[in-house]
Chain A
Amino acid sequence: MDKKDIDEIEHQMKLANEGLPENERDLFADARPSKVESQNRYFERFRNWARSRSLWMLAFGTGCGATEIRPLMTSRYDMFRYGIAPRPTPRQASVFIVGGYASIKTIKRIVRSYEQMQGPKYVIALGSCTINGGMYYDSYNTIKRLDYYIPVDVYITGCMPRPEALIAGFNRLKEKIRAGECEGMNKYAENFDWYKNNQKQIIKDWNMPDYNW
């Protein structure tokens, strides 16, 4: 391949950060996320076992579901013994619990926080509002299907789910991680254009970079 083709392919791979003003465009990243594959199969199994044992969650109470996350930290349900701890910043978290409905303003911040998390990362969707809109099915400000905007690993049904149901959801997530089925990060990187298109259709004022790394 000669240099012109390589330049053209590289130019297509870059993102056009149109939401940002001109003088700030070179301050932000313009590369797409890339897929990460592991070389060694056995080492990956050991890594998945270790990851499932220490899931740090992001402390972002996005909706109603946040009320039943706080009792999990008390001694009656005690999630610290499972290795789950709340972290204040997305750079240190690996699980994102989307609690309940997400309005349009919130989904913009959810996308931003999700893209800032470092992989491998997992998403647990709480409640029936993330599945098909729940009781707000005809509201103009809530989203109806969460997995059109970010990739979801485990759904926990209920309105709201009890803390025991949340712990059962975490156990299911751990089984999936150990079986190697949680590839949310790679799914996001492969179908990046599709997710971005869905997000841009509802988030009308996009004043942030296309990929918030």
Chain B
Amino acid sequence: MTDISKSKYRNFDSDRSKYPVMENGKPVIDLDSHRFTKIWQGPQHPGVTGNMSVELIVSGDEIVDAKTHVGYLHRSFEKLMERRKYIQCFPIVCRICVPEPDTNEYCVSAAMEDLAGITVPEKAQWLRTLNLEMSRVGSFLMWLGGQANSLGMGAIGQWTIGMRDFWLDLFEEMTGGRVYHMYMIPGGVRKDLPDGFKGRARKLIIRTRRLLQDVENTFFYNTIIKSRLHDLGIITPDMVDEYGIVGPNARASGKGYDIRINNPYVKYDELDLKMITSTGSDAFARAEVRYRELHQSLDLISQILDRIPEEGNIQAKLPNVLHWKIPAGQTYVKAESTRGEHGFYMVSDGSEYPRRVFARGASYTHAITLLETLAVNISISDLAALMVSLHTCPPEIER
């Protein structure tokens, strides 16, 4: 374990006469002594990402102990999927992660194809890549709004979520639904692109880039944001394996792990993408990494739009899906969502119902173990910024 409170901005060791007594580096907490207060930054709170709560023990303004409570969104997807046939799982599985539902659909389809031995045709793979990249753009735009809002700057949220609405319009043209798409099914995708889609998408990319120039000038060249996010929640490289950190949180501390480059899936091996890392490893570096990944996603979308073939099959032939029996086996499929490694572990046993499906959300370890470790020694007003900077998404923790 590393010493986190090393920076000069967050060093509370200077005058500790009013603060708790330290013993072996940990404070001695005695709730009856009236020097500590227990506060819940609970589910009904504008400063939490989604519906989770953090139970804090506070001394003055400094957090001394933190404990995360999840479970407000537990719908037991895994039990429900054991009662549904394979094709009936798809309406449910999008709802596991609310801001970015396409990664779940892709993982479940790929797991079924892996177990049943179906190959996906060429055009369907390009369409799947386009869908995944568009959902990453939408999720990053929402994250930017959330990060600025947690520090008090509401204007950026209005801009980016307003722009995200136009991307949702594009989704509606492509798949039929704004938020939950149910577009990817085993064997391919459901529908082809409508006419004129490519022109509209390219125009929207230009508009988004213009807006992002404004966001960059307001957010990243801002003294207040820089000083508030500087040295907040430092993740050192040896913490990455101990805590199972994935995604931009790990990449901003120097450890390069991107599933699209390491184990490429749909058509990412034919596109031109580089790993984006940084060495700052504090909240500002994570914001920079995510912002550059947003630009990279826009770039990838324009590459994909140039290379989608005009003709081709969009779906492989499946047997009668109402009575589809997949042979027994186990598999694990991963995809890179905006938070990190999002994987599905599926076990089948030769009947019409899946045996066991497990969704490994990327923020499983970020929101519980990592947040409880990093929340110590910061002030209450920075806790919301820290939570958004780790990009915790509660639905995928408790499914």
Please determine whether chains A and B interact with each other in the same assembly.
Answer: yes
Query: Which residue of A62, A73, A141 is within 8 Å of B76 (Cβ)?
Result: A141
Across-interface contacts of A162 in B (CB, < 8 A): 178
Contact with B along A29-60 (1 / 0, CB 8 A): 00000000000000000000000000000111
A60-B44 contact, Cβ under 8 Å, with A105-B72, A136-B80, A139-B80: yes
Per the CB 8 Å criterion, the residue count for chain A at the interface is 35
| B46 contacts chain A at the CB level, 8 A cutoff | yes
A61-B162 contact, Cβ under 8 Å, with A88-B46, A139-B76: no
The chain A residue with its CB closest to the CB of B146 is: A70
Across-interface contacts of A113 in B (CB, < 8 A): 44
The chain B residue with its CB closest to the CB of A136 is: B75
In the assembled complex, the Cα of A160 lies from the Cα of B76 at a distance in Å of 20
**Cross-chain contact A106 with B72 (CB below 8 angstroms):** yes
**Cross-chain contact B76 with A140 (CB below 8 angstroms):** yes
**Cross-chain contact B75 with A109 (CB below 8 angstroms):** no
Which of B90-98, B106-114, B129-137, B291-299 forms part of the interface with chain A? B90-98
Across-interface contacts of B75 in A (CB, < 8 A): 101, 103, 136, 139, 141-142
| A159 contacts chain B at the CB level, 8 A cutoff | yes
Distance between A140 CB and nearest chain B CB, rounded to angstroms:
6
A70-B161 contact, Cβ under 8 Å, with A63-B73, A109-B42: yes
Distance between A90 CB and nearest chain B CB, rounded to angstroms:
7
In the assembled complex, the Cα of A141 lies from the Cα of B399 at a distance in Å of 11
| B165 contacts chain A at the CB level, 8 A cutoff | yes
**Cross-chain contact B161 with A71 (CB below 8 angstroms):** yes
For chain B, residues 290 to 330, give those with C-beta under 8 angstroms from any C-beta of chain A. Answer: none
Query: Which residue of B43, B45, B92, B158 is within 8 Å of A73 (Cβ)?
Result: B158
Contact with A along B70-92 (1 / 0, CB 8 A): 01111110011001000000011
In the assembled complex, the Cα of A76 lies from the Cα of B162 at a distance in Å of 7
**Cross-chain contact A140 with B79 (CB below 8 angstroms):** yes
Across-interface contacts of A27 in B (CB, < 8 A): none
| B99 contacts chain A at the CB level, 8 A cutoff | yes
The chain A residue with its CB closest to the CB of B45 is: A88
Query: Which residue of A74, A101, A103, A139 is within 8 Å of B158 (Cβ)?
Result: A74
| B116 contacts chain A at the CB level, 8 A cutoff | no
**Cross-chain contact A109 with B72 (CB below 8 angstroms):** yes
Distance between B397 CB and nearest chain A CB, rounded to angstroms:
13
Distance between A38 CB and nearest chain B CB, rounded to angstroms:
30
In the assembled complex, the Cα of A86 lies from the Cα of B75 at a distance in Å of 27
Per the CB 8 Å criterion, the residue count for chain B at the interface is 30
In the assembled complex, the Cα of A139 lies from the Cα of B92 at a distance in Å of 12
The chain B residue with its CB closest to the CB of A107 is: B72
| A135 contacts chain B at the CB level, 8 A cutoff | yes
Query: Which residue of B46, B51, B142, B180 is within 8 Å of A62 (Cβ)?
Result: B51
Across-interface contacts of B42 in A (CB, < 8 A): 109
Across-interface contacts of B92 in A (CB, < 8 A): 135
Query: Which residue of A103, A106, A135 is within 8 Å of B91 (Cβ)?
Result: A135
The chain B residue with its CB closest to the CB of A63 is: B73
**Cross-chain contact A59 with B46 (CB below 8 angstroms):** yes
A106-B51 contact, Cβ under 8 Å, with A60-B43, A88-B46, A90-B44: yes
**Cross-chain contact B73 with A138 (CB below 8 angstroms):** no
Contact with B along A97-120 (1 / 0, CB 8 A): 000010101100100010000000
In the assembled complex, the Cα of A135 lies from the Cα of B83 at a distance in Å of 12
A67-B98 contact, Cβ under 8 Å, with A75-B158, A90-B44, A109-B43: yes
Across-interface contacts of B83 in A (CB, < 8 A): 138
Across-interface contacts of A101 in B (CB, < 8 A): 75
For chain B, residues 230 to 261, give those with C-beta under 8 angstroms from any C-beta of chain A. Answer: none
**Cross-chain contact A67 with B165 (CB below 8 angstroms):** no
Query: Which residue of A71, A75, A86, A138 is within 8 Å of B80 (Cβ)?
Result: A138
In the assembled complex, the Cα of A162 lies from the Cα of B168 at a distance in Å of 11
| A64 contacts chain B at the CB level, 8 A cutoff | yes
| B179 contacts chain A at the CB level, 8 A cutoff | yes
| Additional pairs, 4, CB under 8 Å, beyond known A73-B158, A113-B44 | A68-B179, A86-B46, A159-B180, A160-B178
Q: Which residues of B contact A (CB under 8 A)?
A: 42-46, 50-51, 71-76, 79-80, 83, 91-92, 95, 98-99, 142, 158, 161-162, 164-165, 178-180
The 10 A-B residue pairs with the shortest CB-CB distance, nearest first, are A74-B162, A60-B44, A106-B72, A88-B46, A105-B72, A141-B74, A139-B75, A136-B75, A139-B76, A74-B161
Q: Which residues of A contact B (CB under 8 A)?
A: 58-64, 66-68, 70-71, 73-76, 86, 88, 90, 101, 103, 105-106, 109, 113, 135-136, 138-142, 159-160, 162
7 residue pairs of the A-B complex, CB under 8 angstroms, read A60-B44, A74-B158, A90-B44, A105-B72, A135-B91, A160-B178, A162-B178
